[in-house]
Amino acid sequence: MSTKDLTARLTELLEPAAADHGFELVAVELTGGNRTPVIRVLLDREGGITLDAVASANGWVSELLDLEDPFDKPYTLEVSSPGVDRPLTKRADFVRFAGETVNLKVQNGEKRKSWTGVLIGMDGDDVLVDVEGDRVRVGYENILKARLKGVVDFGKERGAE
């Protein structure tokens, strides 16, 4: 089974369970290749996710994967938050995160292979991004990978000028 097909199968398995537990399944990522497979499950929820929430989610995710038995050998399971460079995996993500800076990697149907800019949103089947003042239209189907560009602003230290 291809990595894409297995990712889709695991997403279908985990998405309803995540919702039942009060989480949003952001993404399922398979890495590590055939020798040392890693299943990375990225979860979020309203108000953010805590370490305790990740620890509790690890239990039910592990149980479901044990039932599915996706590999005929040992694998590593990583359950975590999506972090500041959250992947955008659904059409709704491109609407929800409008105004945020994004990195897009696209396939050959586009003029360039990557774009970084401010996400405007969706227009039909196209994702709109403001790249240095120019509105760029990228076909949703041509996006290979999309992530928020993780920018962390810790602000000024209290009382400092």
Among residues 152, 156, 155, 124, which one has the least CA distance to residue 140? 124
pLDDT score recorded for residue 110: 59
What pLDDT, on the 0 to 100 scale, is given for residue 125?
94
Lay out the sheet containing 24-31: strands in order across: 24-31, 38-44, 76-80
Q: Does domain 91-148 have CATH number 2.30.110.10?
A: no
| pLDDT band at 151; cut points 50, 70, 90 | low
DSSP 24-80: EEEEEEEESTTTS-EEEEEEE-TT---HHHHHHHHHHHHHHHHHH---SS--EEEEE
pLDDT band at 48 (very low <50, low <70, confident <90, very high): confident
Instruction: State which of 7-21, 64-78, 141-155 shows the largest mean pLDDT.
Output: 7-21
pTM (predicted TM-score): 0.78
What are the helix and strand counts (H, E) for the chain?
3, 8
CATH of domain 3-80: 3.30.300.70
Question: 112 in helix, strand or coil?
Answer: coil
Q: Please state, in angstroms and rounded to a whole number, the distance separating the CA atoms of residues 132 and 136.
A: 10
Give CA separation, 154 vs 85, 151, 157, in Å.
Answer: 16, 10, 8
List the domain boundaries for the chain: 3-80, 91-148
Angle between helices 51-68 and 3-20 (to 10 degrees): 120
Question: Bridge-partner residues for 40, per DSSP?
Answer: 29, 78
Find the mean pLDDT for residues 67-72: 82
Res 126: pLDDT: 94
- pLDDT per residue as tens digits for the range 116-137: 999 999 999 999 999 999 999 9
pLDDT for 161 beyond 60: no
Question: What is the rounded distance in angstroms from the CA atom of residue 64 to the CA atom of residue 57?
Answer: 11
Does pLDDT of 84 surpass 80?
Answer: yes
Q: Would you tell me how many other CB atoms lie within 10 Å of the CB of residue 49?
A: 20
Pick the closest to residue 117 from 90, 154, 106 (CA basis): 106
User: pLDDT confidence of 35, banded at 50, 70, 90?
Assistant: confident
Backbone angles phi, psi at 116, to 5 degrees: -130, 130
